[in-house]
Amino acid sequence: MTRLNEFPNSQRRAIEVVKEVAAEKECRPFLVGGPVRDLLLGRNAFDIDLTLEEGSSTLARALAKRLDGRVRSFPQFLTYKVTASEFPEIDIATARKERYRAPGSLPAVAPGRLKDDLMRRDFSINAIAMDLQDESLHDPADGARDLKKRLIRVLHEKSFIDDPTRIFRAIRLASRLGFSIQQETAALLRQAVTSGALLTASKERLWRELFLAMEEEEAPAILSALNHYHVLEALFGVKIGRRITSGLELIRTELTVRPDLDRYVLYTGALLRGSGASVSQLEGSGFSQKRARAAMQIAHDLPRLQKALAAAPSDRQRFRLYKSVAPEMLALLMADKPAEGEHVIRFEEFRKFKLALRGNELEVPAGPHVARALERTREAVFSGEIAPDQARSFAREMAIKYLGRE
């Protein structure tokens, strides 16, 4: 092996086994798409995508057996997925032709030759195959040339119309690899957006692409580029501000220190800032009500919250405001105004602070007033309003007061 030696260890071992099994079963697998592109660029590749003109099911089953793994089959796409512990996922497909019955819908597939399979793909750099036996390249769309020129180029002029998710993919890949979108391809991309191509794909598919953009290291640049090409406006149906980049950068920085935060909620909120969007703009995102609410808070409520905090006379008031917002919003608040950090840290301490007092120690009738009184007492002890040994009598007094109001 020469070039294939550049793969990381577990990929290399997997390829060795594929070659052995293929020789035994007399079939001819080609490595295709992303892994070939990344290998030729000297980048790490993670998945192994194989295509065969014949024998994909034989190879998939024999490989799963050899690796002591399992095989799943997806007959509508003529593909198999082999998984085994300590090996990367291996996708095995029958070479196929595709026909788009309607723009934006999933294509009808039929078995085809290797060349058909390469020419149905999104970009020339993703349309290169490597014969695993001798490492020769099959490159009918001149992808190797575009790799050298660092260009993203579609293979035919209806590519973005047939499959509008490729609009996202072009921008994502260009940013990830540091490539440019070839001039004619960029013109086709713009035309596709203007002609409403994005409306032909389901919202769910488009959101999936948007989430993939948010997972990339260069998410702020990719999201800004999607905005530049008016892709976000088409997806959300509202006008997005032109100056979103600094807000997105702030989020990227925050996520490096707080990887526990919900990146999708944060980025979505930042994209919709000042757009007047409502939850209906989130259709297809799959966000729960809680996450949708958090995204909307980030989009619309930050200035209002900052104003209310500036006017809050005490810790108690501030804590009530903090309690009313999502953790993502709190993090953003700190990132935006570092001076707020001290208060928020105190609030986090307050959140963890426990009062050694139980409702049944108050000797009042049970009901919601008891929980309210205990919470009020927890605030009072934490803030020093009362001494800890006054907690029980204070709580009892509050409970009676609240009970009178019920």
> What residue ranges bind ligand CTP (CB under 6 A)?
33-34, 49, 121-122, 126, 163, 165-166, 169
Q: How far is the CB of 16 from ligand CTP (least distance, A)?
A: 21
Distance CA 276, CA 245 (A): 18
For residue 153, the minimal CB distance to ligand CTP (Å) is 13
Report the residue number, 126 or 377, with the smaller CB distance to ligand CTP: 126
Alpha-carbon distance of 27 to 304, in angstroms, equals: 65
Closest CB 3 distance from ligand CTP, rounded Å:
17
Instruction: Point out the residue whose Cβ comes nearest to ligand CTP.
Output: 34
In the complex, the smallest distance separating the C-beta of residue 131 from ligand CTP, rounded to whole angstroms, is 17
| Cβ proximity to ligand CTP, 35 vs 247, nearer residue | 35
State CA 177 to chain mean position distance: 18
- Residue nearer to ligand CTP on the CB measure, 36 or 329: 36
Closer by beta carbon to ligand CTP, 186 or else 380: 186
Report in angstroms how near the CB of residue 45 gets to ligand CTP at its nearest: 7
Is-contact 332 251, C-beta < 8 A?
Answer: yes
Comparing CB distances to ligand CTP, the nearer of 81 and 169 is 169
Whole-angstrom CA distances from 27 to 91, 93, 133 are 16, 13, 10
Q: Are 123 and 173 in contact (CB under 8 A)?
A: yes
Distance of closest approach, residue 65 Cβ to ligand CTP, in angstroms? 25
Burial class (CB in 10 A: 0-12, 13-18, 19+), 205: middle
Under the phi-then-psi rule, with left for phi > 0, alpha for psi from -120 to 50, and beta for the rest, what region is 369?
Answer: alpha
**Closest residue by Cα to residue 374 from 399, 352, 353:** 399
Nearest CB to ligand CTP, comparing residues 100 and 347: 100
